[in-house]
Amino acid sequence: RAKQGLRARCRRRGQAEGASAAGGVHVTMVLFFTSTVVDPPAFIYMGRDKEENEDLIAYGLPEDIWFHVDKLSSAHVYVRLAEGQTWDDITEELLEDCCQLVKANSIEGNKQNNIKIVYTPWENLKKTGDMATGQVGFHNHKMVRRRPIEKRKNEIVNRLNKTKEERFPDLQAEQQQRRVEIERQKATEARMKAEAEKAELKRLREEK
């Protein structure tokens, strides 16, 4: 089920890209990377610059986990998990991929050893009107984790860079579609729960 959901979102991403290009609506250039250390492969993505980062902050999905070099300027990197997964399900190998990609895309962080990468679910990102472009805070600091990175691992960075693709997804449309899916799923689960409770009540009545 998780694999099917991830593939479906990838298909919708491609459809959204085509529709956006044809319709001339606002789209964002996003760099996509494929991590093959998990099965199915995970999609890691980031904005080209701070302007693109604003759209990524605004139009993420519940399955997205955000990464950044702690206390230094860097790219905003996200990994998109399969439906039903949480950040506790991220393997050590995938976590290392994400952290190495963030480090490699930080001018200062790439040169330094023994840095920390901060990461949190997208929904925990906080953006207020007085923040600079690309700047972000957190709703709940207890929902923020830090991972120490001793040094850059070229074998990881090179492997990921070989998979890099430039895409122009309609992030807002993807987010709206995902919200619709979530509401439908909640409605289905509520209906199934009500039907199960009704059936159980009927069974108890018949046993009396």
> Which H, E and C letters describe the chain, residue by residue?
CHHHHHHHHHHHHHHHHHHHHHHCCCCCCEEEEEECCCCCCEEEEEECCHHHHHHHHHCCCCCEEEEEECCCCCCCEEEECCCCCCHHHCCHHHHHHHHHHHHHCCCCCCCCCCEEEEEEEHHHEECCCCCCCCCCEECCHHHCEEEEECCCCHHHHHHHHCCCEEECCCHHHHHHHHHHHHHHHHHHHHHHHHHHHHHHHHHHHHHC
pLDDT in tens, 8-28: 454 444 444 444 444 445 567
**Residue 49 in this model has a pLDDT that exceeds 80:** yes
Question: What mean pLDDT value characterizes the chain?
Answer: 87
Residue 144 predicted with pLDDT over 60: yes
The segment with the largest mean pLDDT, out of 42-51, 124-133, 147-156, is 147-156
What local confidence, expressed as pLDDT, does residue 157 receive? 98
User: Under 8 Å CB-to-CB from 79, ≥6 apart: which residues?
Assistant: 35, 42, 43, 44, 64, 65, 67, 90, 94, 98
C-alpha pair distances (Å), 102 with each of 17, 25, 40, 55: 25, 29, 22, 18
User: Which residue's structure tokens are 């040169």?
Assistant: 111
Q: For residue 52, what are its two tokens?
A: 């693109």
**Given a cut of 70, is residue 40 above it in pLDDT?**
yes
The pLDDT score that the predictor gives to residue 25 is 53
Q: What is the pLDDT of residue 20?
A: 44
The pLDDT value given to residue 26: 56
What's the rounded mean pLDDT across residues 34-56? 92
CA–CA gap between residue 6 and residue 2 (Å, rounded): 6
Q: In this structure, are residues 65 and 79 in contact, taking their beta carbons and an 8 Å threshold?
A: yes
pLDDT for 5 beyond 90: no
Tell me the per-residue pLDDT of 182-200, one tens digit each, with 9 for 90 and over: 888 889 888 898 888 888 8
What pLDDT does residue 208 have?
Answer: 73
Query: Does the pLDDT value for residue 153 go beyond 60?
Result: yes
